[in-house]
Amino acid sequence: MRPGHLDQPLLVLRWAIALILSLAAFPQAARADIVVAGVWALRGGSTVQAVELAIDKINEGGGLLGEKVRLVSFDEGCSDLQGAAVAQLVLTAHPSLVIGHECSGPAIAAAPIYAAAGVVQIAPNATAPKLTEMGIGSVFRLIGRDDRQGAEAADKIARTWPHARIAVIEDGTLYGTGLADIVGQELRGKGIDSVATYTLTHDHAGILGAIKRDKVELIYFACNFTSDAFMFMRRLGKVPGLTILASDTATDLGDWRQRFGIDISLLYTSYWDPFVSPAAKALQAESQAKGVLFTSRAVRAYSVVELWADAVRRAGSVDAARVAEALHIGRFQTVIGEVVFDAQGDVEGPPAQWVWHRLGGS
């Protein structure tokens, strides 16, 4: 998954600029600090500020193992093609922890590189199952998996619209194609075989024509929300009689709908709401008092710093193997509540759950 990112023609330029800006910060690397690297998309927004706040609180309390902690940020543009290259850049900062990558494709490409360098990686937003299925003991995920998200979507479709003509739209990314495949497989397992699949391209008219030609009644939208995807959704919402369901990236549609003039009603799966935790609500209130609104993504990233710092204290070291062992066996109290990881590194309990939300309509 990933929040609305830039379209592919701009990604290389965007990433190159981010590379130059990131390198400018590296003269500080000689300092004897513990480095946390955050790898975001679209500069991270309030997520960066949340991580900075968590680190500031650690430093105000005397640091970690007697050392100051500092953040170095990178922008991966949510590009599947840039994950490995960004990872190599990140390693030049000598981090003890990587928070990210923001998107599934680059997170998966980067994971073996961080593991080989002895760096713990905790992804608060990457949902593709493969991330924690590569047998890397130092990789962790603080959000639900797409196999569970896809199963939830297929179950709702089968229960509510069992006789509808169904189509899935994906975007050719590891996230989109993977989730679309899961939804299709789950539907076939429930006896719903006639599911069309379209790949989102710039030919919006062609895709809309196919939807009308095939008399599609229900769309499941499994795409990262690029500006192109937003523009497509604006047109899709005008198709009469069409029911639209979407994946977790539709969370960003609510944030951007005014910008793109989208008037659309849909149901979408989203991650568990961390603000059911009183501590998370208090953190959001603290951020608002400073003129910043922490989103659920920001709060999860904040909790990554909390639980990693707790694991470092328990391990008595920033050594990746020792910290990973502490993360695997420990239970950690954070602003989102108790965090526990399974043997693969996937979070267990409420943070792994998917829930339905409605955007627009009644």
Locate CATH 3.40.50.2300 in the chain: 8-144+276-352, 146-271
Q: How confident is the model at residue 256 (pLDDT cuts 50, 70, 90)?
A: low
Q: Residue 27 has what pLDDT?
A: 44
**pLDDT over 90 (residue 351):** yes
* C-alpha to C-alpha distances, 301 to 33, 142, 308, 357, nearest whole angstrom: 20, 9, 11, 22
Residue 33 φ then ψ, to 5°: -105, 165
d(CA 241, CA 234): 15
d(CA 44, CA 51): 10
| Cβ atoms 242, 208 nearer than 8 A | no
pTM for the predicted model, two decimal places: 0.89
Give tens-digit pLDDT for 2-17.
444 444 445 444 555 5
Q: Tokens representing 317?
A: 């070291």
Question: Of the CATH numbers 2.40.128.110, 3.40.30.10, 3.90.180.10, 3.40.50.2300, which one belongs to the domain with range 8-144+276-352?
Answer: 3.40.50.2300
d(CA 237, CA 198): 17
Q: What is the mean pLDDT of residues 115-120?
A: 98
**pLDDT over 80 (residue 32):** no
Q: Residue 1 has what pLDDT?
A: 53
| Cβ atoms 78, 2 nearer than 8 A | yes
Q: What Rg, from alpha-carbon coordinates, does the chain have?
A: 20
Q: Residue 257 has what pLDDT?
A: 59
- Please write down the HEC assignment for all residues of 140-184: EECCCCHHHHHHHHHHHHHHHCCCCCEEEEECCCHHHHHHHHHHH
CA angle 347/353/358 to nearest 5° reads: 145
Burial of 9 (0-12, 13-18, 19+ CB in 10 A): exposed
Give tens-digit pLDDT for 194-210.
899 999 999 999 999 99
**pLDDT over 80 (residue 357):** yes
Q: Residue 28 has what pLDDT?
A: 45
Mean residue pLDDT of the chain comes to 89
d(CA 211, CA 227): 21
Q: What is the mean pLDDT of residues 307-317?
A: 98
| Cβ atoms 103, 175 nearer than 8 A | yes
Question: Of the CATH numbers 3.40.50.720, 3.40.50.2300, 2.40.30.30, 3.30.365.10, which one belongs to the domain with range 146-271?
Answer: 3.40.50.2300
Look-up of token digits 């000598």 = 94
| DSSP string covering 274-292 | GGGSHHHHHHHHHHHHTT-
* 104-118, 122-136, 224-238, 336-350: range with lowest mean pLDDT: 224-238
Give tens-digit pLDDT for 35-74.
999 998 765 688 999 999 999 999 999 999 999 999 999 9
| Exposure string for 93-130, b = 16+ CB within 10 A, e = fewer | bbbbbbbbbbbbbbbbbbbebbbebebbbbbbbbbbbb
Q: Looking at per-residue confidence, does 206 or 76 come out higher?
A: 206
